[in-house]
């Protein structure tokens, strides 16, 4: 019955215990026996288990009996990492309530605050939960005060739990049943369901995970997708479960389920689209989500050039499962044919590259990540560029606009000086600074370009890992930027071009050429490695030539014979230098990416 359904998500910062709590709730409801139980049972990808992070939001349907009444709990476990906040917003759109989990030893973190605001935008019932109370350093009372102070959430009703030992989990499930509202929808209205995830199954074809708002979806029904206007037959229906999905004949109002459409491709199934009855459609679609906007762009190229089509196929399949990636073909003189791919952040880029290599058995190389810039040309035209090599010549540019983000950083006060120095180095603009007990909440406007490379690593190392960081885009602002080109033997290597602030161009150029000098193999002639802005060279290193002893066969005799051979060698080297080509090895690209 609809009044006995509870749809809820779990939100928290990284490592505050979302997936572990999901395990305990699943066990408490008896959906998985102790023998079948593994840790982080909701994290199904190998890469999730290895890194100990959740990448994809996962759903499970659970049965729970309270006071003789049977309830259905639809639990959605969400990622905590800033790069996957897109997954969180989709999950929260399909829920009526959310468990806000805070670590009793660490307190409120940057991502906690970000996720709470998404939940508040969706008018969800928030249940404050303090986890890890079994640890000796736990201080739940201080943490609850911090939640009230930082977020303004009333914590009079709260739950103290230990997801590891299962302490307090049963009371928490009772609280979910009592406090999360039942879904409200009209059972007699035409079918109206929101697709909030999709993926490809080798046996069943394209699958769509939906939340039904009105009416119901029945097996054999003909449905229409309102955005793409495509019609499909429902081949099968299932309830989600990490180990054994349950077949059903109907998904009713307020329920969550998997719709099997038997399609060979995911074309036409868009996350955020509304599914309705083909014969008796609903009038208004559900407000979908904003399509995810990629922030970070990088070229991805197969190391074996004949694998280009395999890479295209792999990206298409992965896009079914992760709709936030975008890609278009591009070619580079240095690396051949590949794809310019858009990601939500650096971790997202790493994960996608690793998934492509593992799941599709490809060897890939990625170029230096860049962000999208807007360029106003001297004739007034405004263009967007994702690749530094597309930047027009300096005399055609009026202004370059770069994307900025609002960064929220929580840091213990003893590291405040280090963090402010780092933010100033990264061209940050301070907006606010608040003290929360022994920690400081900083808000800064930062250029996105400064974050994509190594900002997160530096922040963690300057604060011994105690700082937490979250960001959201705030638009474009004019910047004093230049394109830095790397020339090897006079030729520009397009894959190594980057856009840098004017005042850092010389130091960056020197770093680049120094690293490349060590990596470019020696030739029979001298090779100049230069960093240039436009036609002005700002840094140079020389790879010395390999010597060949041409006078070895001259022993004794007239010096002019040796001189003649050496002059001949000199001429040859001069000619080679004029026409010689140098291949930049793959290691050189990898090394420069590390800079």
| Average pLDDT rounded to a whole number, residues 272-284 | 83
Answer with the residue of higher pLDDT: 418 or 91. Answer: 418
pLDDT tens digits for 168-215? 888 888 888 888 888 888 888 888 888 877 777 778 888 888 888 888
To the nearest whole number, what is the mean pLDDT of the chain?
A: 80
pLDDT tens digits for 149-180? 888 888 888 888 888 888 888 888 888 888 88
pLDDT tens digits for 90-143? 667 778 888 888 888 888 887 777 778 778 877 888 888 898 888 888 888 888
User: Cβ distance 344 to 294 under 8 Å?
Assistant: yes
| Helix or strand (DSSP H, E) at 421 | helix 416-425
Q: How confident is the model at residue 587 (pLDDT cuts 50, 70, 90)?
A: low
**Alpha-helical segments (H) within 54-212:** 85-93, 110-121, 140-151, 169-179
Q: Does the structure show a pLDDT above 80 at 423?
A: yes
Mark the binding-site residues for GTP, compressed into ranges. Answer: 15-20, 131-134
pLDDT tens digits for 55-74? 555 678 888 888 888 888 88
Calculate the alpha carbon distances from 317 to 310, 320, 328 in Å.
11, 5, 15
| Average pLDDT rounded to a whole number, residues 270-294 | 76
Q: How confident is the model at residue 445 (pLDDT cuts 50, 70, 90)?
A: very high
- What is the pTM for the complete model shown? 0.68
Q: Does the structure show a pLDDT above 60 at 48?
A: no
Tokens of 243: 């180990």
Give percent of the chain with pLDDT exceeding 90: 1
Whole-number pLDDT of residue 420: 92
In whole angstroms, what is the distance from residue 209 CA to residue 192 CA? Answer: 13
pLDDT tens digits for 514-525? 888 887 777 777
Q: Does the structure show a pLDDT above 60 at 494?
A: yes
Question: Which of 513, 549, 512 lies closest to 528 in space, CA to CA?
Answer: 513
Whole-number pLDDT of residue 528: 83
Lowest mean pLDDT segment, chosen from 306-320, 331-345, 496-510: 331-345
Give percent of the chain with pLDDT exceeding 70: 86
φ and ψ at residue 584, rounded to 5 degrees: -85, 120
Q: Does the structure show a pLDDT above 70 at 88?
A: no
- Residue given tokens 């939001």 in the structure block: 57
Q: Which domains are seen in the chain, by residue range?
A: 2-179 (3.40.50.300), 192-277 (2.40.30.10), 297-367 (3.30.70.870), 374-479 (3.30.70.240), 482-594 (3.30.70.2570)
What is the DSSP code string of 54-97? --S-EEEEEEEEETTEEEEEEEEE---SGGGHHHHHHHHHT-SE
| Average pLDDT rounded to a whole number, residues 450-459 | 77
Whole-number pLDDT of residue 558: 78
Whole-number pLDDT of residue 127: 87
**Alpha-helical segments (H) within 152-269:** 169-179
Mark the binding-site residues, compressed into ranges. Answer: 15-20, 131-134
């Amino acid at each position: 019955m609809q009044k006995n359904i509870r749809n809820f998500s779990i939100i928290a910062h990284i490592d505050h215990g979302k997936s572990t709590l999901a395990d305990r709730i699943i066990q408490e409801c008896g959906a998985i026996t102790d023998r079948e139980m593994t840790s982080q049972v909701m994290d199904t990808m190998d890469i999730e288990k290895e890194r100990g992070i959740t990448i994809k939001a996962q759903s499970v349907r659970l049965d729970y009996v309270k006071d003789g009444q049977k309830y259905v709990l639809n639990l959605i476990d969400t990622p905590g990492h800033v790069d996957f906040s897109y997954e969180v917003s989709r999950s929260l759109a399909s829920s009526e309530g959310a468990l806000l989990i805070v670590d009793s030893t660490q307190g409120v973190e940057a991502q906690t605050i970000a996720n709470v605001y998404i939940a508040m935008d969706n008018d969800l019932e928030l249940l404050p939960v303090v986890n890890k109370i079994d640890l000796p350093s736990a201080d739940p009372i201080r943490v609850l005060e911090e939640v009230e102070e930082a977020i303004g959430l009333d914590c009079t009703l709260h739950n103290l739990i230990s997801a590891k030992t299962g302490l307090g989990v049963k009371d928490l499930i009772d609280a979910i049943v009592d406090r999360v509202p039942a879904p409200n929808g009209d059972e007699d209205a035409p079918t109206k369901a929101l697709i909030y995830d999709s993926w490809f199954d080798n046996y069943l074809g394209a699958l769509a995970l939906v939340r039904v708002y009105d009416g119901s979806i029945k097996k054999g029904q003909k449905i229409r997708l309102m955005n793409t206007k495509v019609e499909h037959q429902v081949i099968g229906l299932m309830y989600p479960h990490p180990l054994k999905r349950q077949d059903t004949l109907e998904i009713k109002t307020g329920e969550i389920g998997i719709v099997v459409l038997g399609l060979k491709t995911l074309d036409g199934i868009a996350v955020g689209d509304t599914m309705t009855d083909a014969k008796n459609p609903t009038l208004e679609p559900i407000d979908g989500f904003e399509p995810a906007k990629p922030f970070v762009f990088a070229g991805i190229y197969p190391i074996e050039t004949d694998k280009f089509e395999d890479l295209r196929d792999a990206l298409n399949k992965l896009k079914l499962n992760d709709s936030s990636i975008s890609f278009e073909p591009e070619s580079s003189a240095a690396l051949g044919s590949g794809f310019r791919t858009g990601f939500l952040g650096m971790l997202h880029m790493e994960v996608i590259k690793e998934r492509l290599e593992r799941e599709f058995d490809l060897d890939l190389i990625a170029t230096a990540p860049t962000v999208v810039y807007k360029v106003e040309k001297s004739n007034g035209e405004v263009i967007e560029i994702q690749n530094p090599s597309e930047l027009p010549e300096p005399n055609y540019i009026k202004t370059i606009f770069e994307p900025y983000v609002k960064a929220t950083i929580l840091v213990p006060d003893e590291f405040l000086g280090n963090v402010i120095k780092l933010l100033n180095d990264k061209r940050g603009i301070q907006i606010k600074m608040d003290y929360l007990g022994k920690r400081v909440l900083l808000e800064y406007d930062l250029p996105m370009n400064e974050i994509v490379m190594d900002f997160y690593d530096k922040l963690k190392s300057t604060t011994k890992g105690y700082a937490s960081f979250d960001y959201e885009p705030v638009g474009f602002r004019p910047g004093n930027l230049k394109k830095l080109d790397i020339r090897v033997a006079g030729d520009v290597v397009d894959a190594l071009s980057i856009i840098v602030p004017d005042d850092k161009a010389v130091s960056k150029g020197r770093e680049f050429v120094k690293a490349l000098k060590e990596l470019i193999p020696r030739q029979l002639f001298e090779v100049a490695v230069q960093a240039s802005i436009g036609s002005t060279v700002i840094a140079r290193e020389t790879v010395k030539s390999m010597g060949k002893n041409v006078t070895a066969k001259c022993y004794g005799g007239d010096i002019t014979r040796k001189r003649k051979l050496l002059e001949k060698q000199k001429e040859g080297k001069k000619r080679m230098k004029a026409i010689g080509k140098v291949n930049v090895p793959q290691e050189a690209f990898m090394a420069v990416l590390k800079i």
